[in-house]
Amino acid sequence: MYVAVKGGERAIQSAHELLAEMRRGDPEVPELTLEQIQNQMGLAVDRVMNEGSLFDAELAALAIKQAQGDMIEAIFLLRAYRTTLPRHGTSEPIETKDMRVLRRVSAVFKDVPGGQLLGPTYDYTHRLLDFTLAAQGEAPTEDPSSDLSSHAFETEVSPDPEQMARVLEILERDTLVETPKGPDVPSRDLTREPLDYPVDRATRLQALARGDEGYLLALAYSTQRGYGRTHPFAGEIRSGVVSVSMPFEELGYALPVGELLITECEMINQFQGSADVPPTFTRGYGLQVGLSERKAMSMALVDRSLRADEFEEEIESPAQDEEFVLSHCDNVEAWGFVSHLKLPHYVDFQSELELIRKLRDARETQDAS
């Protein structure tokens, strides 16, 4: 006997119970603590904070735990929490020149004032599975890159905690690279106001900053392969701690309220110019919290390709198309809409069924006559 599906409530409850069980896994295995996630899966935490647009490592760790490591689910959880928080105001712009630098590399000059500082990076590790980690061992005593430290230009760096000039700033002085323009309009909060195309660069960067890492990476890659080429050079990538200040109206000045670990990427791109205008390098910008270097670089590449209109370049590739890029960069929106296909569409499908049958009948009648 056929019984139409009802009792959704019970089904949902059971699903949640199963999910909780699955999330916890084998109870014999100790439960993950948020400290463990924050400490040992820091890059996952960074990603969730960036795309969740909430800079709270502990909550991000909780989201990761609750989502069983599903990053988009974790980002979703964090966003859903963020939206309930009150807004107290807007901080002063951070000054990355004053960063306490953890890592700083420039690919355009062999050496720069302040030096190249490799910092903690997977870049020069050989991707060989380390079975000592599997054996619950401590960090390997034989660091595959240990002999790198003998190379002079890496050890002698002791970054001046006061200031380290940005590489592009030095090039700006010679007017070889464009000087960035500040926003014409006060920055808006994308999470409070909808996007209104065309958008200014600051808003665009805001959208990219919370955009999906994989999506931006693929778009950035496409520009390198010729779909909207921008001839990029990694002018400077720096990671470190900056101070965040809030203006206090009652005091009439700003006070530091905390510190952020951030990663900044400035790309130097193909020059513009004509017979009349001297050629000048253009630039792309990426900024993320934590050590999210992949995302910061992708963001900088996509930022530059989205400036095609500004430089009167022909817009012919996906990465140059502002509406295409920004309308699809939010993974919570994207997964929401893709996943909604799982919802019942009985009624819509029924209408289609009815129509297709009618069309086929009409055709059969015609063929018969």
Is residue 265 within 8 Å of 168, Cβ to Cβ? no
Cite the beta strand spans of 170-290 per DSSP E: 233-248, 253-272, 280-289
Rounded to the nearest 5°, which phi and psi values hold at 123? -45, -50
Interhelix angle 42-52/71-82, rounded to 10 degrees, is 50
**Element at 297 (helix H, strand E):** helix 293-305
Residue 253 beta carbon to other proteins: minimum distance, rounded to whole angstroms: 27
Of 82 and 229, CB closest to other proteins: 229
- Side-chain-facing half-sphere of 258: CA atoms under 13 Å: 6
Peptide bond between residue 198 and the one before it cis (omega within 30 degrees of 0): yes
Residue 208 beta carbon to other proteins: minimum distance, rounded to whole angstroms: 22
Of 109 and 248, CB closest to other proteins: 109
**Site residues, other proteins (CB under 8 A):** 109-113, 118, 123-124, 126-128, 142, 144-145, 147-148, 151-154, 165, 167, 170, 173-174, 224-227, 229, 273-275, 279, 313-314, 316
Of 236 and 330, CB closest to other proteins: 236
Query: CB burial class (10 A; 0-12, 13-18, 19+) of residue 258?
Result: exposed
Positive or negative, the Cα torsion across 52, 56, 60, 62?
negative
Of 25 and 113, CB closest to other proteins: 113
Q: Nearest to residue 294, comparing CAs of 43, 37, 48?
A: 43
Residue 54 beta carbon to other proteins: minimum distance, rounded to whole angstroms: 30
Residue 361 beta carbon to other proteins: minimum distance, rounded to whole angstroms: 24
Residue 184 beta carbon to other proteins: minimum distance, rounded to whole angstroms: 26
Task: State in Å, rounded, how far the first CA of the chain is from the last one.
Answer: 42
Of 51 and 236, CB closest to other proteins: 236
Tokens of 153: 């230009």
User: What 3-state DSSP class applies to 303?
Assistant: helix
Residue 351 beta carbon to other proteins: minimum distance, rounded to whole angstroms: 31
Residue 360 beta carbon to other proteins: minimum distance, rounded to whole angstroms: 21
Provide the β-strand partners of residue 239.
103, 263
Of 202 and 214, CB closest to other proteins: 214
Of 28 and 142, CB closest to other proteins: 142
